[in-house]
Amino acid sequence: MQLLDGKKMASEMKTEIASEVIQFKASGGKTPHLATILVGHDGASETYVSGKVKACHEVGFKSTLVRFEVDIPENELLAKIVELNMDDDIDGLIVQLPLPPHISERNVIEAIDYRKDVDGFHPVNLGRMVIGMPSYISATPAGILEMIKRYNIPTEGKSCVVVGRSNIVGKPVSILLSRKGYPGDATVTLCHSKTLNLKEIVSQADILIAALGQAEFIKADMVKEGAVVIDVGITRIKSSVTKSGWKLIGDVKFDEVAPKCSYITPVPGGVGLLTVIALLKNTMLSAKRTIYP
């Protein structure tokens, strides 16, 4: 069993992006600039957003954080998005999710200029991804693909089972792994809460992607010997042992599943750490006008 080490990959990729920024600026390019909007004070969102801001500074990007109180009216938030869309210095614009219930996530995502949608959530980017055109790929699917590539994990003809059909992970990653070329050409099955015989389907997987958001749902008796297991789950539970008072648990019961795997991601230290890197890579692409010249 080999660990898919997100921590090592993230640190290598940050070094690569930092030198790309230096080269880009040396050849007359601008400083890549990511703007993040955070509404309210949700604990997990605060942690993710501060991770994004810190990562920007580490690789030499500019970062702007716009904060609103939880009761901001939707039209004020949309007006700010329009303003940031028009700001030529800003290459990437993201609104941290989830949003409070009185704000429509769909209206917000559609208000972001798709050319700055480095989260890859806008229907234009998702649609382009589906038909194989260049687009911003959202952070978690991009992190999963990067991990598969860096560890040279074969995907062609493999049986890949994705558990969870969210718009930001399950759906896009299942489409990406079934696309032509590497890392793709897999035979993908997308399972969800209404799937019958889930255990039987999951246990056929050469590559298993667990993205359902239920702590330790995948047990050893559901996993094929020699499978590659990628755990996207991050459930936060209270802990008296850690300094932060929180502990992260994956969707896979790691201790019993790991001995059966050829490769497995730990939680924490797996895919989660790559998501911020994917966001930086998309912002770099935007600064270089690669996807949308």
- The nearest distance, CB 93 to ligand GUN, in angstroms, is 10
| 94 lines the binding site for ligand GUN (CB under 6 A) | yes
Given 91, 117, 119, 216, the residue binding ligand GUN (CB under 6 A): 119
| 129 lines the binding site for ligand GUN (CB under 6 A) | no
The residue to which tokens 């795997």 are assigned:
261
Catalytic residues: 52, 96, 119
- Residue 98 is classified by DSSP as P
Nearest CA to 254 out of 245, 264, 243 is that of: 264
With contact defined as beta carbons under 8 Å apart, do 186 and 176 qualify? no
Provide the token pair at 151: 């560890």
Strand 159-163 and strand 92-95: the pairing is: unpaired
CA distances from 163 to 193, 210, 215, 267 (A): 9, 5, 13, 17
Of the pair 49, 202, the CB lying nearest ligand GUN is at 49
Selected range binding ligand GUN among 58-66, 88-96, 186-194, 218-226, rule: CB under 6 A: 88-96
| 139 lines the binding site for ligand GUN (CB under 6 A) | yes
Of the pair 98, 226, the CB lying nearest ligand GUN is at 98
| 97 lines the binding site for ligand GUN (CB under 6 A) | yes
Q: 179: burial class by Cβ within 10 Å (0-12, 13-18, 19+)?
A: middle
The pattern of x and - marking residues 25 through 64 that bind ligand GUN according to CB under 6 A reads ----------------------------------------
With contact defined as beta carbons under 8 Å apart, do 182 and 153 qualify? no
With contact defined as beta carbons under 8 Å apart, do 24 and 283 qualify? no
- The nearest distance, CB 139 to ligand GUN, in angstroms, is 5
Given 63, 96, 265, 283, the residue binding ligand GUN (CB under 6 A): 96
| 66 lines the binding site for ligand GUN (CB under 6 A) | no
Tell me how far apart the alpha carbons of residues 275 and 194 are, in angstroms, rounded to a whole number.
28
| 65 lines the binding site for ligand GUN (CB under 6 A) | no
- The residue ranges that bind ligand GUN (CB under 6 A) are 94-97, 119, 139, 275
